[in-house]
Amino acid sequence: MASYRIVCTDQAPADKPPSHQHIVNVGTGTNPIRADKRWSLQQVLDAMDKGDTFYTIGERSGKRAEVDKYWCTPCGRWFIRSHADAVQDNNLDNLPRC
Ligand SMILES: [Zn+2]
């Protein structure tokens, strides 16, 4: 069981209405400007199911936010997002693109 810091994401528009975006790939590593490892969404979900955890750290705030999986009802599948207590700069949606 391991813990990984997500430093970048790629998003793509969902193929189901209403119009929204989902994270489809992430990069993890200790250096916030260069990911050591790229993961597909499915690889992240599989790792979470095995007990691995993912988090972000805000570059300015220094605050850590956990990353959770959640069920998107329109899409009918699992995706990932920051825990609800995330602040601006550690929100998964605000990380740089990979
Ligand atoms: Zn969706």
pLDDT tens for 42-98 read 999 999 999 999 999 998 999 999 999 999 999 999 999 998 778 888 899 899 999
d(CA 25, ligand 1 centre) in Å: 15
Residues whose CB is under 5 A from ligand 1 (ion)? 14, 72, 75
- Token pair 């790939």 is found at 25
User: What integer is the mean pLDDT of 23-36?
Assistant: 95
Residue ranges covered by each domain of the chain:
3-94
C-alpha separations of 11 from 59, 60, 92 in Å: 20, 23, 10
> Measured in angstroms, how far is the CA atom of residue 27 from the centroid of ligand 1?
21
Does the structure show a pLDDT above 90 at 6?
yes
pLDDT at 62: 92
pLDDT of residue 87: 87
Strands 3-13 and 37-40: unpaired
Residue 30: pLDDT above 90?
A: yes
7 Cα: distance to centroid of ligand 1 (angstroms):
22
Structure tokens at 90: 């550690």
Query: How many residues in total does the chain contain?
Result: 98
CA 64 vs CA 7, 14, 74, 92: distances in Å: 12, 27, 29, 11
